[in-house]
Amino acid sequence: MPATAIPRLLDHYRRTARDLPWRTPPGSDKTPDPYKVWLSEIMLQQTTVATVTPRYWRFLERWPTVDDLAAAPLEEVLAEWAGLGYYARARNLHLCAKQVAALGGFPNTEARLRALPGIGDYTAAAIASIAFGETATVVDTNVERIVARLHAIPRPIKNVRPKIRALAADLFADGHAGDIAQALMDLGATICRPKAPRCDQCPLAAVCKAHASGTPEAYPPKPAKKDRPERHGTAWIIEQDEAIFLVRRPGKGLLGGMAALPGSDWQDGPPVQAGSLAVRHVFTHFALTLRLESRATPPDEMEGWWQPISHLDAAGLPTLYVKAIEAWRALEREAALIA
Ligand code: SF4
């Protein structure tokens, strides 16, 4: 990579940096708060800036410091996380906050950050470089795509990760790792986008081999698609006196510890019954069709609670169950109109 590429990238970042609530503007004297950097990085995993921003403010308002978050009950943290998906993040967030509070603050090196729950290679490098100025190699999907394009690597990213990491390390080798990481995040989000990269606005165009090829979007090539497995389950709608019966899912596994509608396990294979009202929800590794069934009362041994329908938001239901209840209530409204 020519020596001029990084100064050009940093200059572009200083002029065009996105104004994000967790970010200290480039050139500012203020040191970024590791709590805010950490919180935003965890929230931004698999979730867009537009979705995260209002939720980030709400989190900070409720728990302004890592000590406040550590002292909060897990159920409240999970409820506040509702709708953001990937709920293991919220459980790890809480566990991590407890460990950080016990340590008296965030560790300031990539290696020690990586030892905390929910902090992987990328997040540890991002916090270490942005909040503590450590020279770390920050590689997320944006950086992978940019590096694959800069070098016109003709293979899918999943087949060349060590090579991409080694090439990315060159970008971070001469210091300013925090600004370089944020510059690449911005570049990946606004210019070197997965589709239709805006090479005419890119500070790295002069050194980019994918751009020189004339077909930058062809890099990195996509891997062959695998079919997503289908699963099926039943959820029970149990309503009494303007309240709906909810349960808490087991602490471990998908949607672990979250509020939920009671119902059957989710199973592979064809649906047991067809034709009744159902909602479909696509998770990362499978698609679920959840059939909805009315019941008069919960089974005797079932633990749960009656949630007033007027305060359904406060239950912290994941999107799957919000969709299911909305579909059910729409059907009820339709039936009332016909009657
Ligand atoms: S020149 Fe185009 S393909 Fe290359 S890094 Fe910039 S935006 Fe991406």
pLDDT digits (tens, 9 = 90+) for 187-234: 999 999 999 999 999 999 999 999 999 999 999 999 888 888 999 999
Residue 203 in contact with ligand 1 by CB distance below 6 A: no
Q: How far apart are the CA of 195 and the centre of ligand 1, in A?
A: 11
Residues in the chain with pLDDT values less than 50: none
Tell me what pLDDT residue 271 has: 67
Q: Which residues pair with 293 in a beta bridge?
A: 236
Tell me what pLDDT residue 175 has: 85
Residues 111 and 241 in one domain: no
- Cβ atoms of residues 153 and 220 within 8 Å: yes
In tens, the pLDDT along 168-182 reads 999 998 889 999 999
Residues 204 and 249 in one domain: no
For 237, which DSSP code?
E
- Cβ atoms of residues 201 and 207 within 8 Å: no
Residue recorded with tokens 């294979």? 269
Residues 48 and 196 in one domain: yes
Instruction: Report yes or no on 224 lying in a domain.
Output: no
% pLDDT > 70, the chain? 97
Pairing of strands 287-295, 230-240: parallel
Residues 265 and 157 in one domain: no
Residue 84 in contact with ligand 1 by CB distance below 6 A: no
Phi, psi of 71 (to 5 degrees): -85, -10
Residues in the chain: 339
Residue recorded with tokens 């308002």? 61
Residue 205 in contact with ligand 1 by CB distance below 6 A: yes
Q: Which amino acid is at 64?
A: P
Angle at which helices 34-44 and 88-103 cross, to 10°: 160
- Cβ atoms of residues 187 and 142 within 8 Å: yes
Name which of 96, 18, 108, 16 is nearest 63 in CA terms: 96
Active site residue 41: yes
- Domains identified in the chain, total number: 2
Q: Which of 41, 110, 134, 144 is catalytic?
A: 41
Identify the CATH number of the domain in which residue 32 sits. Answer: 1.10.340.30
Tell me what pLDDT residue 134 has: 94
Tell me what pLDDT residue 252 has: 84
Tell me what pLDDT residue 114 has: 97
Residues 20 and 77 in one domain: yes
Residues 148 and 286 in one domain: no
Residue 199 in contact with ligand 1 by CB distance below 6 A: yes
* 287 three-state secondary structure: strand
Residues 31 and 100 in one domain: yes
User: 154, 189, 218 — which closes off a domain?
Assistant: 218
Question: Exposed (0-12), middle (13-18) or buried (19+): which is 187, by Cβ within 10 Å?
Answer: buried
Tell me what pLDDT residue 284 has: 84
For 96, which DSSP code?
H
Q: How far apart are the CA of 149 and the centre of ligand 1, in A?
A: 7
Ligand 1 nearest atom to the CA of residue 146, by list position = 5
Q: CA 134 to CA 276: how far, in whole Å?
A: 57
Tell me what pLDDT residue 273 has: 62
Q: Whose CA is nearest to atom 1 of ligand 1?
A: 205
Instruction: Report yes or no on 225 lying in a domain.
Output: no
Tell me what pLDDT residue 31 has: 83
Question: Which residue range(s) make up the domain with 251?
Answer: 230-338
Instruction: Report yes or no on 249 lying in a domain.
Output: yes
Tell me what pLDDT residue 223 has: 86
User: 190, 218, 246 — which closes off a domain?
Assistant: 218
The radius of gyration of the chain from alpha carbons, rounded to an integer in Å, stands at 23
Q: How far apart are the CA of 262 and the centre of ligand 1, in A?
A: 49
Phi, psi of 239 (to 5 degrees): -115, 135
User: 218, 239, 274 — which closes off a domain?
Assistant: 218
Q: How far apart are the CA of 52 and the centre of ligand 1, in A?
A: 26
Q: What is the 3-state secondary structure (H, E, C) of the chain?
A: CCCCHHHHHHHHHHHHCCCCCCCCCCCCCCCCCHHHHHHHHHHHCCCCHHHHHHHHHHHHHHCCCHHHHHHCCHHHHHHHHCCCCCCHHHHHHHHHHHHHHHHCCCCCCHHHHHCCCCCCHHHHHHHHHHHHCCCCCCCCHHHHHHHHHHCCCCCCHHHCHHHHHHHHHHHHCCCCHHHHHHHHHHHHHHCCCCCCCCHHHCCCHHHCHHHHHCCHHHCCCCCCCCCCCEEEEEEEEEEECCEEEEEECCCCCCCCCCEECCECCCEECCCCCCCCCEEEEECCCCEEEEEEEEECCCCCCCCCEEEEHHHHHHHCCCHHHHHHHHHHHHHHHHHHHHC
Question: Exposed (0-12), middle (13-18) or buried (19+): which is 265, by Cβ within 10 Å?
Answer: exposed
Residues 287 and 247 in one domain: yes
Instruction: Report yes or no on 234 lying in a domain.
Output: yes
Tell me what pLDDT residue 272 has: 60
Identify the CATH number of the domain in which residue 313 sits. Answer: 3.90.79.10
Residues 97 and 243 in one domain: no
